[in-house]
Structure 1
Amino acid sequence: MVRSVKGMLMGGAAVMMVVPAAFAADLPVTKSQPVEYVRVCSAEGDGFFFVPGTDSCIRIGGHVRAEFGYTQPKGRTILDFDSSGNLVSARKDGREQDATGFRARGRLDVDVRTPTDYGTLRAFLRYEIDQNSGIFDSSDKGALLEKAFIQWAGLTAGHATSFFDFYANDLNWANGFEGSFGSDLTTNLFAYTATFGNGFSATLSIEDANARRTGDHFYDAAGQRVPDVVANLNVEQDWGSAQLAGALHQLNSASIYTPLGGSWGQRVDTTYGWAVQGGVKLDLSALAKGDVLWLQGTYADGALSYIGIGDIEYADFTVSAVDGAIVNGDIKKTRGWNATAAFLHYWTPGVRQSLFGSYSGVSYNTSAKTEYADLRNFDAWSVGSNVIWSPVSEFDIGVEVLYSKVDRKSFQNELLLKGQRSEDVVTSRIRLQRDF
């Protein structure tokens, strides 16, 4: 009897073990979702990784910059008169002018690239936020969309560096007097680049003409009708790179102002300015790894933005830069040229120094100088150097000193405060920058 009960218990236990197993075989099996780890996208270069779930690669970068600067103050001229109204003295007072200042900048770069049958589809965004004071101009702050463009199958469209530019302030920080190192403009454009192999390429670009206007009130500029047309031929080789570029710039007036008659007329005028530029960047790694030499020359007729020159105003000194001026109903174009050289040398892998210099000349049409007292030929030049120490990777500590001078070549003394022949200025900066 005991043996019989024992057998029944053992048999029941066996049945209970088998039945759940049978039911379990009928239940659905749930698997955990696979974890998709971030993968490095080495094909696009350092810092790129695949966007999870896509075949696009993205790189997020930028920098944080802190600067402290000094600019030599010159002040304004204060005139002292006696009780009879006679001028007895003239003195400078620079106490109202800032001599130092601070800048804090945050930059964010986003670069997204996707392979397609027609080449890489790229979208690039650069966003900057500044907080400035003193000599850096406290009004020049806030958020800025510095670049935003799309590239695909040779096309570039959006807000990007002009395809005319070459050196574009690659080594210097300050410009001294405005644009003294040639053209450096980010503008709205549509461009197509054809590549020919062996490092050769050519680009045709239409660019915002309004961004290139200089002193357009002297010819009462009309609305933009024709964009600037820019073309370049570029080559990149083991020895470095070179570029030849040209630009066509429309000058069109809305109406003609006749200074002698003092009235606005109905006649309008249209003419075209142009500019050409040649530049070379030489790899001097034979001296030290990373050494380069930039050489660039530019000539412009009626398109001074392409040599990087605008109005120069400092203390009492002012010279006007204009693409052209109306004389007897016609736009008389202004000629200008610029030459720039810059050299970068690595003393050690962590210490580098740049030397740079630039010279610009502006010449007005003779009849324009006769018609407008403000238009006088002038030259502007700058020379400077910076030294940068990188104690760790992607972190720079540097100092720069720049000297600039402008000379009015043709002189007219009919206006007291416009009778100054020349002005010079010394600027210096300390910079800390962390790239990421």
Structure 2
Amino acid sequence: MIKLTRHLLGGAACLAAVSSASAADLPVSKSAPVEYVRVCSAHGEGFFYVPGTDSCIKIGGRLRTDFAYTQPKGSTVTETDGNGNVTAAWRDGRYRDATGMRAQARLEVDVRTPTDYGTLRAFLRYEIEKNTGIFSDDESGALVDSAYIQWAGVTAGRLQSFFDFYASDLNFGNGLQGTFGSDTINNLLAYTATFGAGFSATISLEDRGTRNVGEDWYDVAGQRLPDVVANLHVEQDWGSAQLSGALRQLNSGALYGPFAQRVDTTYGWAVQGGVKFSLPTLAEGDVLWLQAAYADGALTYIGAGDIETGDFLSIAADGAIVNGDIKTTRGWNATASFLHYWTPSVRQSLWGSYTDVSYDNAVKADYAALRNFDVWTVGSNLIWSPVSSFDIGVEVLYSKAERKSFAGEIIDSRQKSEDQVQARLRLQREF
């Protein structure tokens, strides 16, 4: 028994030694390290590192629903006797929408990567919306609202025009037309130089076609030059300010008159100055916007467009052809807007805007439809944010437009002026 025990113990020891040696020769595999999402604070809140890269990404968006009412303005209906004399006249607004709804979804992706020449940024904003009723004239469906690349001072793609400043920042609606100055998303190529202390300057080449107003009146030809836009901008603790300018080409391909004169080219231009004051002494978040612009042959830069409601029609056109020449149209706009926080969750905006458009006398003499007009708008909205990034707001605005007579002519009282009241309820959730 003693000998047998010794042999068994010896064998077990040998097996253990062999097993240890074999195990030491086997390759050891380790689990790949888990790379968790890390917060990227270099570019503000909401950014995180793309795993395995030094790029930071932010994904966000919003959902918005609008419910609006506008008093219907029907066309005038007349009754006549057997001799063609008008015996009765009234407005019939039964076939015009008075209410409307809008549902809009927005997705934003912002990717930023550090480089030796500064941050490389790619930004995309995609929107899908469905409009009904009074909103049906707006674009429905899916569209790329913004898509651009920024690097080393260069901006290329589709985004807010570098001419714009206030750009309807506080108001929901625009009344009878876009009367709050320039607010245009455009395709462009720009360069921005920064000088420190919040100062910068930008030169931008922007798509001309987006800015054309009243193309038929001067038979716009193909685009030869883009609009040239420049601005000087400052951003500091007290707020911000901007001086903008634009130069645009108006060219026509029309043949007019018995001698078939070919219309050549003229140029339009616009200037704008604006300031935004931060007013924390009143309440945290309070701001005051003041802005004014003047344009000659470039009416979108003052936010001017056609106004048509009921019997009333005021036509906006950058210019019109007279004796083979394009006569440009002049106009100006002034806007003021104030935002006040009554409480951290309740805020209110109050704003007003005035736009005036004037045609060349030769144009008014040749075209009865082209008459000077002005339009002014006032309004206010009240917004409650019961939780962060969720707004419930109501807005009411009033607009009035008026056409001006020329050379003693009498404009029908039904067509001389028109006013409009709009009311809107908005629910919006940002994420």
Q: TM-score, normalised by structure 1?
A: 0.96
Residue 320 of structure 2: aligned partner: 325
Contact 1:317 1:418 in 2 (8 A): no
Contact 1:316 1:418 in 2 (8 A): no
Deviations 1:169-192 (A, max 9, x none): 000010112211010000000000
1:27-426 aligned within 5 A? 27-137=26-136, 140-258=139-257, 265-410=260-405, 420-426=415-421
Q: Find the residue that maps to 1:12 and give its secondary structure.
A: helix
Contact 2:159 2:186 in 1 (8 A): yes
Question: Displacement, 1:42?
Answer: 0.4
Contact 1:157 1:189 in 2 (8 A): yes
Contact 2:364 2:406 in 1 (8 A): no
Question: Displacement, 1:22?
Answer: 1.0
Question: Displacement, 1:393?
Answer: 0.4
Residue 427 of structure 1: aligned partner: 422
Say what the alpha-carbon RMSD is for the aligned residues: 1.6
**Following the alignment from structure 1 to structure 2, what is the Cα–Cα distance between the partners of residues 303 and 80?**
42
Size of the alignment, in residue pairs? 431
Contact 2:405 2:411 in 1 (8 A): no
AA at the equivalent of 1:126: R
Cα–Cα, structure 1 residues 367 and 409, in superposed 2: closer, same or farther, change >3 Å? same
Q: Find the residue that maps to 1:44 and give its secondary structure.
A: coil
**Following the alignment from structure 2 to structure 1, what is the Cα–Cα distance between the partners of residues 411 and 284?**
54
**Following the alignment from structure 2 to structure 1, what is the Cα–Cα distance between the partners of residues 144 and 188?**
15
Residue 26 of structure 1: aligned partner: 25
**Following the alignment from structure 1 to structure 2, what is the Cα–Cα distance between the partners of residues 408 and 208?**
31
**Following the alignment from structure 1 to structure 2, what is the Cα–Cα distance between the partners of residues 405 and 139?**
21
**Following the alignment from structure 1 to structure 2, what is the Cα–Cα distance between the partners of residues 132 and 11?**
90
Question: Where does the alignment leave 5 or more consecutive residues of structure 2 unmatched?
Answer: none
AA at the equivalent of 2:52: G
Q: Which moved more, 1:7-16 or 1:338-347?
A: 7-16
Contact 2:66 2:424 in 1 (8 A): yes
Cα–Cα, structure 1 residues 241 and 363, in superposed 2: closer, same or farther, change >3 Å? same
**Following the alignment from structure 1 to structure 2, what is the Cα–Cα distance between the partners of residues 20 and 381?**
94
AA at the equivalent of 1:230: V
Cα–Cα, structure 1 residues 336 and 57, in superposed 2: closer, same or farther, change >3 Å? same
Q: Structure 1 vs Structure 2: percent identity of aligned residues?
A: 68
Q: Find the residue that maps to 1:19 and give its secondary structure.
A: helix
Question: Displacement, 1:3?
Answer: 0.2
**Following the alignment from structure 1 to structure 2, what is the Cα–Cα distance between the partners of residues 176 and 49?**
41
Contact 1:317 1:417 in 2 (8 A): no
Q: Find the residue that maps to 1:24 and give its secondary structure.
A: helix
**Following the alignment from structure 2 to structure 1, what is the Cα–Cα distance between the partners of residues 367 and 115?**
57
**Following the alignment from structure 1 to structure 2, what is the Cα–Cα distance between the partners of residues 138 and 256?**
33
Q: Find the residue that maps to 2:42 and give its secondary structure.
A: helix
Question: Displacement, 1:255?
Answer: 2.0
**Following the alignment from structure 2 to structure 1, what is the Cα–Cα distance between the partners of residues 273 and 70?**
32
Question: Where does the alignment leave 5 or more consecutive residues of structure 1 unmatched?
Answer: none
Question: Displacement, 1:52?
Answer: 0.6
Cα–Cα, structure 1 residues 418 and 214, in superposed 2: closer, same or farther, change >3 Å? farther
**Following the alignment from structure 2 to structure 1, what is the Cα–Cα distance between the partners of residues 138 and 157?**
26
Question: Displacement, 1:422?
Answer: 0.3
Residue 11 of structure 2: aligned partner: 12
AA at the equivalent of 1:434: R
Question: Displacement, 1:83?
Answer: 2.6
Q: TM-score, normalised by structure 2?
A: 0.97
Cα–Cα, structure 1 residues 143 and 412, in superposed 2: closer, same or farther, change >3 Å? farther
Question: Displacement, 1:415?
Answer: 10
Contact 1:107 1:126 in 2 (8 A): yes
Question: Displacement, 1:19?
Answer: 1.3
Question: Displacement, 1:412?
Answer: 8.6
AA at the equivalent of 1:25: A
Question: Displacement, 1:414?
Answer: 8.1
Question: Displacement, 1:411?
Answer: 5.5
Deviations 1:246-290 (A, max 9, x none): 0001111112323xx5xx824222110000000000011110000
AA at the equivalent of 2:144: L
AA at the equivalent of 2:380: S
Q: Find the residue that maps to 2:282 and give its secondary structure.
A: coil
Contact 1:277 1:296 in 2 (8 A): yes
Q: Find the residue that maps to 1:53 and give its secondary structure.
A: coil
Deviations 1:183-212 (A, max 9, x none): 000000000000011111000001001111
Deviations 1:384-404 (A, max 9, x none): 000000000010011000101
